[in-house]
Structure 1
Amino acid sequence: MKIQLDNWKVINVNFSSLKDEPREDNSFDLSTGHFFPKEIDKSFGVGFEIEIKDKFFDLFVEAIFMFKLDEDITEEFKLSNFPKINAPAIAFPFLRAYVSNLTLQSGFDPVILPSINFVQFAKDKQESEAE
């Protein structure tokens, strides 16, 4: 089975500069999910939401990455690690570069998102959903 990143889009971005004094601390929150469009048998998507509270601005980004396969998606594939771990790991560097460039081109120091261990991220997500 061949799998390829087909395309990606930022579907929502909200960037607002703080007008008052800078914050003391930065924060970063990431959530992911995956979906399988019913009308396309050989495609699936991975979605990201990122919320950044920088010292000087707030940033929210929502993006979708679409992957295509050379064969129909099976139930076994849907339950595999690829949609939850491998696909987000492939897509995330594109989103990291987007956020870095957006913040830099907006006149701020570039935000370089941390590397994410998507194996641990998926495990943590599964444990929190079980609670």
Structure 2
Amino acid sequence: MKIERVETFLVDAFLLVRVTADDGTQGIGEGTYWAFPRATEETVRSMASDLVGMDAGNIEHIWNWLYRKQSFRGPNLAAAISAIDIALWDIKGKRLGAPVWDLLGGKVRERVRAIALGVSG
């Protein structure tokens, strides 16, 4: 299953990335870097053409390839790679019919305390 398309959606300060595989499966990832959301979006866009044609299931290889390809590895790059990585895991989970948390090793506790964080401004 090859990556066919990578799209970005900037909603306020939130960056969403949609990766579409050649079988039509879509994965959504989020990679917000609050200080420079547009720069992160452009970083993802600059990587998109290189990703097209790569095996969407080869997640670790893609992560390492994207990371090693860049000479400056700051928070902007981390946010961009994170968004792509999350989208690829989403695709894998959908293809296998399993939640991503299960693919990453399963649950480790029965309950999780939740907190809500917000952005002002």
Which category of TM-score, normalised to the shorter sequence, fits these structures? 0.3 to 0.5
Higher RCO (CA-CA < 8 Å; seq separation 6+): 2
Which structure has the larger Rg? 1
Higher-strand-fraction structure: 1
The TM-score with structure 1 as length reference comes to 0.36
The alignment's TM-score, normalised by the length of structure 2, stands at 0.38
